[in-house]
C-alpha cells in the first residue's frame, strides 16, 4: 500500500477511502492489481481490506493492469 501511495503521491489511508475521484480510484486499481496478480492475495481478501465488493476488485485488477504500464517500476 505504501509503495503505491508513494508512487502516485498520496497518503496510504486515502487509497482505502470510498472516494470515487479518479486519482483515488486509480490508486485502488493499481493496488488491487498488484495485490491480486503479483502477490497472490485473493480478490475477496483485497475487497475486505479496501471495504469494497469482490466484483469491484476484479474490475479494478483489469484497470490496474493497464495503469501499471504508466508506473512501470511498480509492476
CB under 8 Å to 74, separation ≥6 — which residues? 3, 4, 7, 30, 34, 68
Report domain extents, the chain.
2-67
Q: What is the pLDDT of residue 75?
A: 46
Question: Which residues of the chain fall short of a pLDDT of 70?
Answer: 71-75
Q: What is the pLDDT of residue 7?
A: 83
C-beta separation of 74 from 34 below 8 A: yes
The CATH architecture assigned to 2-67 reads Orthogonal Bundle (1.10)
Q: What is the pLDDT of residues 15-33, one digit of tens each?
A: 988 888 999 999 999 999 9
Amino acid at each position: 500500500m505504501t509503495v503505491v501511495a508513494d508512487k502516485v503521491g498520496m497518503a496510504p489511508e486515502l487509497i482505502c477511502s470510498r472516494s470515487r475521484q479518479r486519482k483515488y480510484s486509480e490508486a485502488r486499481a493499481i493496488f488491487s492489481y498488484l495485490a491480486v496478480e503479483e502477490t497472490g492475495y485473493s480478490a475477496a481478501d483485497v475487497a475486505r481490506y479496501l471495504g469494497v465488493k469482490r466484483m469491484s476488485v476484479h474490475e479494478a485488477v483489469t484497470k490496474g493492469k493497464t495503469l501499471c504500464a504508466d508506473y512501470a517500476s511498480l509492476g
